């Protein structure tokens, strides 16, 4: 039990370290840049931006560190960047192994397909947890270092609530991975779907006639700006995401079980 | 229960039959060769046996486990080794890391012994491996947990002749230890050297399953005669003459009839030279394939 999880997790360590370092550096740069911008009056500039743009980029207030971070880091990197990354990484899980014929060897092991997929998928927890824990810590320390304060509870919630969102993105990747005939198609489809859902929420979602459309996007259920700036959140949103994740992963398992390799 | 039992197995891919009502049994402690050209359905059959693909109709059991029953098959796989035709190891890790992972899942009591016999450079990343080194790493992982049944798909492709011979010797020794070995090949001489029985597959159907010796005996004799035009014509018309080839001043054929009849016929003509010998397995194989163009490819792959 868990041999595959151990092996796959170890393979992810190097990539995780590089990605976590890069994102932490970017977050650190953002915090520093906020302190460098002090005294510049750009609030007016922001208020003149079209409502759609503001909503799309999660811009509410750029003059507080919370508003600045949620716009520059959470809305860009977490909602879009990491969402796409986990969709892509999960899209590669099964499809890459089938394409390289490594799956032949894996299926000769005395473990079930369900266990194989579950353990392989679970290895994505390595980058998922590392990037949240390390970057969260870096942000908290650096905000203090520039003489600002950020509510630690809000920062923690912003990170913890991103987990179910990113799991849904990864589960979309898993479904694409077990469905597609070729690995490149699986990865592109997963990234395409997550990006399309992001756009649906940020662009179409603001139009009242199509208001219902926003509810199908996972981005609707993770609002870092509201958490960080207003400290407002509810537990229903992450629950909706968790249920969606479980359903998608079960669908992925069902399809993988029946698939000819 | 025999280690492998296949019954009326059919696999259809989008209207095309990969294998068509294939039946055969691999007995305990034998080396069974599954012979046929590329595309005949060898790999498809093997994939069904390992549960990679589900049969359209028919069934198969491996070490008593029905291939439809995943739990039973997973249980049986603890005693099965598999050497696939294409070895998709992770390229970025070392051979040692690959074997550690395999050992953690299925055991590796014979790992060191096998690494002494087959010598992949386990300290180097797999991406630096030649095809022969990859093959040796594949052999080690297939046998390291001392399985009762080993299924191999084109096991010697990529191995140099010396290592091939070592591998064949190893297979014979494994058979003598009571292991059951099933392997597919399109190389006849290889099958002849190590197999007890052969199943010949053609266009998704099993054409015959025979002892190697029976197959060779059944094959008659290869006769090569230098004689007159009239003699050549008469010999070619003889009953039980197949696979006739004409060459300047002579004729070559496979003779499957009574020897006296042949000798009487030969004595009627002016014979300058005659050579009667065991036919190559290739020719017996051609007999099963007759005019099939694939057969030549198979027969010649070995030359």
The residue of chain A nearest to residue B77, with distances taken between CA atoms, is A110
The answer to whether the Cβ–Cβ distance between A101 and B141 falls below 8 Å is no
The contacts of residue B140 (CB under 8 Å, 6+ apart) are B99, B111, B114, B115, B118, B120
- Domain spans of chain B, in order of start: 4-212, 217-301
In this prediction, the answer to ipTM > 0.90 reads: no
Q: Could you tell me which residues are beta bridge partners of residue B32?
A: B182, B197
Give the model's confidence band at A148: pLDDT under 50 very low, under 70 low, under 90 confident, else very high. Answer: confident
Q: 1.10.10, 3.30.450, 1.10.3470, 3.30.70: which CATH number matches B217-301? A: 3.30.70
The answer to whether the Cβ–Cβ distance between A101 and B84 falls below 8 Å is yes
Q: How do residues B272-302 score in pLDDT, each as one tens digit?
A: 899 887 766 666 666 666 544 454 455 555 4
- Please report residues of A whose CB lies closer than 8 A to that of B78: 110
Do the beta carbons of residue B49 and residue A104 sit within 8 Å?
Answer: no
Q: What helix, strand, coil percent values describe chain A, rounded to 5?
A: 80, 0, 20
Tokens matching residue A119 = 């353990």
Question: What does the alpha-carbon distance between residue A198 and residue A259 come to, in Å, rounded to a whole number?
Answer: 30
Indicate whether A4 pLDDT > 80: yes
The pLDDT, as a whole number, for residue B290 is: 57
Low-confidence winner among A14-28, A97-111, A234-248, B256-270 (lowest mean pLDDT): B256-270
Residues belonging to chain B with any Cβ–Cβ distance to chain A shorter than 8 Å: 47, 50-54, 70-71, 74-78, 80-82, 84, 86-90, 92-93, 101-102, 104-106, 141
Q: How do residues B1-49 score in pLDDT, each as one tens digit?
A: 899 999 999 999 888 888 889 999 999 999 999 988 778 889 999 999 9
CATH topology of domain B4-212: Rossmann fold (3.40.50)
Pick the residue of B42, B52, B142 with the most A CBs within 10 A to test the interface with A by mutation.
B52
Question: What does the alpha-carbon distance between residue A46 and residue A66 come to, in Å, rounded to a whole number?
Answer: 15
Indicate the Cα dihedral angle A46, A49, A52, A58, nearest 10°: -10
Q: Which of residues 194-253 of A touch B (CB under 8 A)?
A: none
Do the beta carbons of residue B94 and residue B125 sit within 8 Å?
Answer: yes
Query: Among all chains, which residue has been given the structure tokens 């992963």?
Result: A249
Query: Among all chains, which residue has been given the structure tokens 């070592």?
Result: B166
Indicate whether A203 pLDDT > 80: no
CA angle, corner B116, sides to B114 and B117, nearest 5?
65
Half-sphere exposure (CA, 13 Å, Cβ side) for B94?
A: 7
Other beta carbons within 10 angstroms of residue A79's beta carbon come to 27
Do the beta carbons of residue B59 and residue B67 sit within 8 Å?
Answer: yes
Same fold, B4-212 and B217-301: no
Question: What does the alpha-carbon distance between residue B191 and residue B207 come to, in Å, rounded to a whole number?
Answer: 16
- Please report residues of B whose CB lies closer than 8 A to that of A6: 104
The answer to whether the Cβ–Cβ distance between B53 and A107 falls below 8 Å is no
Measured in angstroms, the CA of B92 and the nearest CA of chain A are apart by 9
Indicate whether B152 pLDDT > 90: yes
Query: Among all chains, which residue has been given the structure tokens 């059959």?
Result: B45
* Contact A120/B at CB under 8 A: no
Indicate whether B303 pLDDT > 60: no
Q: Which of residues 4-23 of A touch B (CB under 8 A)?
A: 4, 6-7, 11
Percent of chain A with pLDDT over 90: 66
Alpha carbon of A151 to those of A221, A223, A237, B64: distances in Å? 21, 16, 21, 63
Tokens matching residue B282 = 């290739």
The answer to whether the Cβ–Cβ distance between B84 and A105 falls below 8 Å is yes
φ and ψ of B40, to 5 deg: -80, -20
- Domain spans of chain A, in order of start: 3-258
Higher pLDDT: B213 or B95? It is B95
Question: What does the alpha-carbon distance between residue A13 and residue A9 come to, in Å, rounded to a whole number?
Answer: 7
The pLDDT, as a whole number, for residue B302 is: 45
Low-confidence winner among A23-32, A79-88, A226-235, B52-61 (lowest mean pLDDT): A226-235
Give the model's confidence band at A66: pLDDT under 50 very low, under 70 low, under 90 confident, else very high. Answer: confident
* Contact A108/B at CB under 8 A: yes
φ and ψ of A152, to 5 deg: -60, -35
Q: How do residues B45-104 score in pLDDT, each as one tens digit?
A: 999 999 999 999 999 999 999 999 999 999 999 999 999 999 999 999 999 999 999 999
């Amino acid at each position: 039990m868990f041999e595959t999880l151990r092996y796959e997790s170890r393979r992810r360590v190097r990539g995780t370290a590089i990605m976590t370092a890069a994102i932490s550096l970017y977050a650190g740069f953002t915090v520093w840049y906020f302190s460098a911008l002090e005294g510049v009056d750009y609030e007016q500039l922001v208020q003149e931006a079209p409502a759609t743009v503001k909503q799309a980029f999660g811009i509410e207030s750029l003059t507080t560190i919370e508003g600045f971070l949620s716009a520059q880091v959470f809305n860009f990197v977490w909602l879009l960047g990491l969402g796409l990354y986990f969709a892509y990484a999960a899209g590669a899980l099964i499809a890459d192994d089938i394409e390289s014929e490594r799956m032949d060897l894996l299926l000769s092991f005395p473990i079930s397909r369900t266990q194989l997929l579950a353990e392989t998928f679970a290895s994505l927890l390595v980058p998922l947890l590392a990037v949240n824990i390390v970057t969260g810590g870096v942000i908290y320390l650096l905000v203090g270092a520039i003489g600002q304060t950020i509510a630690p509870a809000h920062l923690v919630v912003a990170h913890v609530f991103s987990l179910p969102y990113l799991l849904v993105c990864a589960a979309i990747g898993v479904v694409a991975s077990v469905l597609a005939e070729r690995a490149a198609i699986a990865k592109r489809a997963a990234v395409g779907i997550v990006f399309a859902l992001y756009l649906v929420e940020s662009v179409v979602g603001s139009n009242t006639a199509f208001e219902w459309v926003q509810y199908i996007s996972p981005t609707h259920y993770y609002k870092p700006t509201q958490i960080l700036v207003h400290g407002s959140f509810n537990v229903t949103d992450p629950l909706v995401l968790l249920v969606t994740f479980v359903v998608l992963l079960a669908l992925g398992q069902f399809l993988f079980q029946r698939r000819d390799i | 229960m025999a280690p492998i039992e296949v019954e009326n197995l059919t696999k259809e891919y989008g209207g095309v039959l990969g294998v068509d009502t294939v039946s055969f049994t691999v007995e305990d402690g034998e080396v069974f060769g599954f012979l046929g050209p590329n595309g005949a359905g060898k790999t498809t059959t093997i994939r069904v046996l390992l549960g990679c693909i589900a049969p359209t109709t028919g069934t198969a059991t491996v070490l008593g486990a029905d291939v439809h029953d995943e739990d039973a098959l997973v249980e049986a796989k603890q005693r099965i080794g598999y050497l696939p035709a294409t070895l998709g190891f992770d390229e970025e890790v070392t051979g040692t890391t690959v074997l550690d992972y395999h050992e953690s899942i299925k055991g590796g009591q014979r790992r060191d012994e096998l690494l002494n016999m087959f010598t992949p450079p386990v300290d180097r990343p797999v991406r630096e491996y030649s095809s022969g080194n990859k093959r040796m790493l594949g052999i080690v992982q297939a046998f390291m947990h001392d399985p009762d049944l080993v299924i191999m798909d084109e096991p010697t492709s990529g191995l140099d002749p010396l290592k091939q011979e070592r591998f064949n010797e190893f297979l014979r020794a494994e058979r003598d230890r009571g292991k059951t070995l099933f392997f597919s090949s399109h190389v006849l001489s290889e099958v002849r050297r190590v197999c007890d029985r052969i199943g010949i597959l053609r266009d998704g159907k099993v054409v015959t399953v025979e002892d190697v010796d029976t197959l060779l005996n059944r094959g008659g004799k290869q006769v090569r005669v230098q004689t007159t035009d009239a003699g050549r014509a008469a010999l070619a018309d003889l009953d039980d003459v197949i696979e006739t080839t004409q060459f300047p001043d002579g004729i070559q054929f496979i003779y499957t009839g009574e020897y006296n009849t042949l000798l009487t016929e030969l004595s009627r003509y002016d014979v300058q030279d005659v050579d009667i010998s065991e036919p190559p397995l290739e020719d017996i194989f051609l007999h099963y394939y007759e005019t099939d163009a694939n057969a030549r490819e198979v027969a010649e792959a070995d030359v």
